[in-house]
Amino acid sequence: MSILIFDSGIGGLTVLREARVLLADRRFVYVADDAGFPYGDWEEPQLLKRMVDLFGTLIEKWDPRLIVIACNTASTLAIEALRKAYPDQEFVGTVPAIKPAAERTRSGLVSVLATPGTVRRQYTRDLIVDHASRCEVKLVGSTALARLAEQYMRGGFVDETAVAAEIAPCFEESEGRRTDIVVLACTHYPFLVNRMRKMAPWPVDWIDTSEAIARRAASLLEQAGEPVLADEALAEKGEDVAIFTSGIPDFSTRKLLSGFGLTSCQPL
């Protein structure tokens, strides 16, 4: 049975990349709801309905063993509703790494860089109250970065001054202290982290949760005692598939996907 990795676009590939290393014997189905991209701009009730409906179709068609919502904007809104709507299905969510940031900061100034949707969510606010009450956490919503990451991954070019403008509000100075951690709370952002590093006014730790999400998926399967596939079964596991809700993606996207081991594109 396959592992379905879901995002609004190609950001979830940062999680797929790690999951394919840890769970090399599994078949992956990567789903991008690119017809709805960017999720960061949606109103909550409409996006919630869209996701619950879409997962009905996906679960029926693919009957996945595990679903990884590799999108902070989607998880912080819909993970509980999805678990309720599909109680037999196991989900792994992706939420802003506020707790690890609070544990690691030395200056006490932490910024969370995310989509406007994730910044607005009650879920995100609750994470701060529950895990970071002793820090100053600044939520920075970016309307442009997810799009910039998509353009960069497809075309290989990104406007560095635009990246600099988007990350600038993350950097705070107060009473001799400076922000020392920026949480990358959108799965698209790790693709741009080297540019962010270059354009940052001072060095910080950039927290990327892709590997932790993949590890969580792997440990759930391990806890369930599922055996690693033997060689014969491995040969028959099938190609890793990509599904884009707007249809078969263009050539540059297909090229990118094949670089991530997604060899076949299928309609929804």
Q: Does 32 bind ligand DGL (CB under 6 A)?
A: no
Please say if 135 is a catalytic residue.
no
Q: Tell me the C-alpha distance between 38 and 102, whole Å.
A: 28
Nearer to ligand DGL, 38 or 249 (CB): 38
Q: Tell me the C-alpha distance between 197 and 206, whole Å.
A: 8
Q: Does 141 bind ligand DGL (CB under 6 A)?
A: no
Nearer to ligand DGL, 73 or 245 (CB): 73
Q: Tell me the C-alpha distance between 26 and 8, whole Å.
A: 22
Q: Tell me the C-alpha distance between 205 and 197, whole Å.
A: 9
Residues written for the chain: 268
Identify which range of 18-26, 67-75, 170-178, 249-257 contacts ligand DGL by CB under 6 A.
Answer: 67-75
Identify which range of 17-25, 33-41, 170-178, 200-208 contacts ligand DGL by CB under 6 A.
Answer: 33-41
Binding ligand DGL (rule: CB under 6 A), the pick from 55, 58, 68, 73 is 73
Number of Cβ within a 10 Å radius of residue 180: 18
Element (H, E) at 6: strand 3-7
Q: Tell me the C-alpha distance between 188 and 250, whole Å.
A: 19
Nearer to ligand DGL, 143 or 174 (CB): 143
Q: What track of x and - describes contact with ligand DGL for positions 88 through 127 (by CB under 6 A)?
A: ---------------------------x--x---------
Binding ligand DGL (rule: CB under 6 A), the pick from 68, 146, 148, 167 is 146
Q: Does 15 bind ligand DGL (CB under 6 A)?
A: no
Q: Does 208 bind ligand DGL (CB under 6 A)?
A: no
Query: E-strand spans in 52-178?
Result: 66-69, 91-92, 109-114, 136-141, 173-174, 177-178
Surface-to-core class of residue 134, CB atoms within 10 Å of its CB (0-12 exposed, 13-18 middle, 19+ buried): exposed
Shortest Å distance, C-beta 14 to ligand DGL = 9
Task: Tell which positions 162-181 bind ligand DGL, by CB under 6 A.
Answer: none
Surface-to-core class of residue 191, CB atoms within 10 Å of its CB (0-12 exposed, 13-18 middle, 19+ buried): buried
Q: Does 210 bind ligand DGL (CB under 6 A)?
A: no
Q: Give the SS3 label for residue 25.
A: coil
Please say if 186 is a catalytic residue.
yes
Nearer to ligand DGL, 44 or 226 (CB): 44
Omega of the bond leading into 45 within 30 degrees of 0 (cis): no
Binding ligand DGL (rule: CB under 6 A), the pick from 186, 196, 218, 257 is 186
Binding-site ranges for ligand DGL (CB under 6 A): 7-9, 11, 37-40, 71-73, 115, 118, 146, 186-188
Residue numbers annotated as active site: 71, 186
